[in-house]
A and B are shown apart, each in its own frame.
Chain A
Amino acid sequence: MSQTLWQFHGGLKLPGHKALSNREPSIPAAIPERLFLPLQQHIGIASRPTVKIGEKVLKGQLIASAEGYVSVPVHASTSGTVIDIGDYPVAHPSDVDARCIVIEPDGDDVWVERRVPAQCDLLGPKAVNDMIRDAGIVGLGGAGFPSHVKVNEGVENVVDTLIINGAECEPYITCDDRLIRERADEVIAGASLISRTVQAKRCIVAVEDDMRDAYAALEKVLIGDIELAKVPAIYPAGGEKQLIFTLTGKEVPCGRLPIHIGIVMHNVATAAAVYRVVHYGEPLVSRYVTVTGSVVSPRNMQVLLGTPVGDLVDQCGRPDGPPKKVIMGGPMMGIPVQDERVPVIKTTNCILVTDALERGPQMPCIRCGDCVDVCPVNLLPQQLYWYARAQDFDTAQDLHLFDCIDCGCCAQVCPSNIPLVQYFFFAKSEIAAEEEARGSADRARGAYESRTARLAKDEAERARHLQQGDIGESRAKNDRGQKKAYIQAAIERTKAKRATAREREGSPKDNATVGPDRKSTPESNE
């Protein structure tokens, strides 16, 4: 199939290291001694426990319910007993604990009663959407945005193209590759189901051009007018805005969402999960995870959510010699895991065991501009760095700080070994904290007046924005309004991420651990 493809700016051709883990079929990982299920495995509001300590639960049973629209429930990944609801280590850039439900499995892995609708092929959009939400499905590509919100947007708006994203672009990660090869029929059926639900005019399933077997597997089970596409393996080809541009030549306007240009995108694993819930009544309790790097036998595993990463490393053969770094995610965007009890969650695509990622000492930026050449958003990372470091956050925002997708290309090519993404993360967190502080000051001042009224209005406004995904919905044609709303939305996302951190620390700021560690840099006394 010949297709016109567009080439996004920048990006990197990286050594893939895919063959390390994608040759063996996936196997189910063993049921661990303890499952740690964080209440927040998605972007949005953390869910609320519906079980008590000591309660027996079955596999697939609801254990925490969604809190609000941008939230999803959590289900028990196997049968057993709830032994604690408390704070445990999770993968987080700031290395903090978060609230988890701990289950001691009974080893029987008994399912709760699964309800399958009688005519699951004829379900209306509302019914499908409810099922997706109740199954706790979120974007499994790594973002973790609640899938029902995106599907709902698609239902409420005209959808030109539905893209099912199998362009697994980060090195080492092959979980989508294996999932497609082993469950191509589920991916295609899920794609078809979502396509029908959002009434998409076109549906494209995209993989990278180096995923030949996955492409062939999809080709075999292709149904209807679903199209297949191969995109060049240039990191980050699988980034949402990058893939949309590659396939359609359309750019998602800054501060807006794909739906505004009539596009909905879901990950291949998400599509398969949607199929599983509609046809088998299975909520999201497990996922494909690549365990790779220097483990003895790298491979993909079907892992129960909540399984500690250390168990997976053991099952794939812990490497000899001194302990190596364990990274959740890939080498470009992953988070180092400090405690091997950290659990696999809905967004965990890879466990990378390695010690080959060390960079040399950090030097000052010499403004060489290599980062500009590789930025897939066409940002000026060196300028962003300059202003983030100077804590001139206004200028950093003028330079589109919040359009950065954290892909890490800039840091990858930096001759001065500057961890640029970390500085950007620091700046975003600081801005979020500032906004938060400003918000509470406003509230205090308004306490005498229309406090309740305004809060309610704010909340409604926010909910409406999020619900419709229309961040600039005020129809404010002027840029400032749109930009502000967009930043607000980005801040909301950051806030949500930080919520877990704050909860435990009890301090309003956790930036001390978030910010780049200045003591270890040669420019420390600046």
Chain B
Amino acid sequence: MTSSMPGFAPDSEPHSVSSIMRQVLYALVPGIALYVWFFGFGIVINCLLATSVALVSEGIMLRLRKRPVTPFLTDGSAVVTAVLLALAMPPYAPWWVTSIAAIFAIVIAKHLYGGLGYNPFNPAMAGYALVLISFPAEMTTWPLPHMLSEMRPGFIDSAMIIFADQPTGALKLDALTGATPLAHVKSELGNMRMVSEAVGAPIFGMLGGKGWEWLSLGYLLGGVWLLYKKIIKWQIPVSMLAGLFIMAVVFYLSDPEIYLSPVFHLFSGATMLGAFFIATDPVTAATTPLGRIIFGAGIGILTYVIRAWAAYPDGLAFAVLLMNAAAPTIDHYTQPRILGEGRQ
């Protein structure tokens, strides 16, 4: 542009949209590595599948919307959406479920609202919520950690399960899968058992479920790195974890036989992934400093409410989507006081 104000080229490399997305992906590496270690290669195949579908969808939509394809296809946002979606889904979900979720995330939740920067709802969570509601059976088949199933499916086996709905040879899908810790507790409580009885099952570890607790630690590690690199800001993760934790403390103290421990809540399900990678999606989050705290706390509280009293064992996706809808209102009422405002 000819009449542009000059920008100032800083000496250090500034953030760009693609560098932000790239670093988010780097931060997911510890979590994904632990995922593979405990649950086999399904997650890798799912990530690759979701990414391919997302990129093809993105390319088609950019073309249809007459947008420049290269800068937007390479900005990394579709890849981040796809990988987060894959991490939220069961790793052995059939290929068509993952594909539908990815297509919905990119085409409906992202591009029909205007593409990068304009989508009000977190695309990954929108895609996840669609398939969770539509295909409950496929979406609740979760793997057991390798210590419990005594098997760790390799790449080929995982691919067979995902694409042909059955493992090879001697492997039996039933032997590989089981309830997640959150789902197990929910069903046990439904069967009039106590929390103390439910958590005696072999799937439970020190902090949360066996295996799952390590994934949570992996995501936590990546999240702390993102904070350190100033890719995300502290308000949303801290307030979300605090919201969930405080709710859990209050009800746990009121009756530890009906309500799970706060630590278990923090290290189970999608808590850590959600706090550092999903709720922090800037496009769909509240954007004022105070607004981010309210937004994060809302997700934490709603997640707890859904986990404790609603039909779904984990409620993070719905909590995120609900707070996405509230974000513009939160922003409106949390404008910071500007220099000189309210002074006489």
Contacts and interface: CB of A to CB of B under 8 A. Distances in A.
Interface of A: 8-9, 14-15, 93-95, 171, 241-242, 245, 251-254, 256, 261, 325, 327, 331-336, 338, 356-361, 363-370, 372-373, 376-380, 382-383, 399-400, 403, 408, 411-413, 415-417, 419, 421-422, 425, 513-514, 516-517, 520, 522-523, 525-526
A334 B69 CA distance: 33
B67 A525 contact: yes
A526 to B, nearest CB: 8
Contact of A368 (B20, B340, B344): B20
Nearest to B233: A369
B85 to A, nearest CB: 18
Contacts of B338: 254, 377-379, 400, 403
B122 to A, nearest CB: 13
A10 to B, nearest CB: 10
Given A93-B5, A336-B5, A522-B68, 18 more contacts: A14-B8, A14-B10, A171-B8, A325-B6, A336-B2, A336-B3, A356-B9, A357-B9, A366-B282, A372-B287, A376-B339, A379-B338, A408-B5, A411-B7, A419-B1, A419-B4, A422-B4, A425-B5
A251 B343 contact: yes
A472 to B, nearest CB: 10
A125 to B, nearest CB: 27
A403 B339 CA distance: 9
B17 A378 contact: no
A254 B340 contact: yes
Contacts of A421: 5
B15 A370 contact: yes
What are the 8 A-B residue pairs with the smallest beta carbon separation, nearest first? Answer: A364-B117, A517-B1, A415-B15, A331-B8, A253-B343, A359-B7, A357-B6, A251-B340
Contact of A366 (B3, B67, B116, B336): B116
A522 B116 CA distance: 11
Q: Would you call the interface of chain B mostly helix, strand, loop, or mixed? A: loop
A360 B16 contact: yes
Contacts of B339: 8-9, 241-242, 245, 251-252, 254, 376-378, 403
Contacts of B72: 522
A242 B339 CA distance: 9
A415 B1 contact: no
A94 B1 CA distance: 11
B7 A357 contact: yes
Interface string B277-289: 0000011010111
Interface of B: 1-11, 14-17, 19-20, 65-68, 71-72, 75, 77, 114-118, 233, 282-283, 285, 287-289, 292, 331, 335-344
14 contacts: A241-B340, A242-B339, A253-B341, A331-B8, A333-B5, A364-B115, A367-B117, A369-B233, A369-B288, A378-B336, A408-B5, A411-B7, A413-B15, A419-B7
Nearest to B66: A525
Contacts of B335: 380, 383, 399
Contact of A335 (B5, B114, B117): B5
Nearest to B4: A419
A415 to B, nearest CB: 4
A382 B288 CA distance: 10
Given A254-B343, A378-B339, A525-B66, A366 B7 contact: no
Contact of B71 (A93, A241, A363, A376): A363
A11 to B, nearest CB: 11
A327 B287 CA distance: 34
Contacts of B1: 419, 516-517, 520
Contacts of A253: 340-344
Contacts of A359: 7, 9
A475 B68 CA distance: 54
A453 B17 CA distance: 57
B16 A336 contact: no
Contacts of A331: 6-8
The residue in B288, B289, B340, B341 that gathers the most chain A C-beta atoms within 10 A of its C-beta is B340
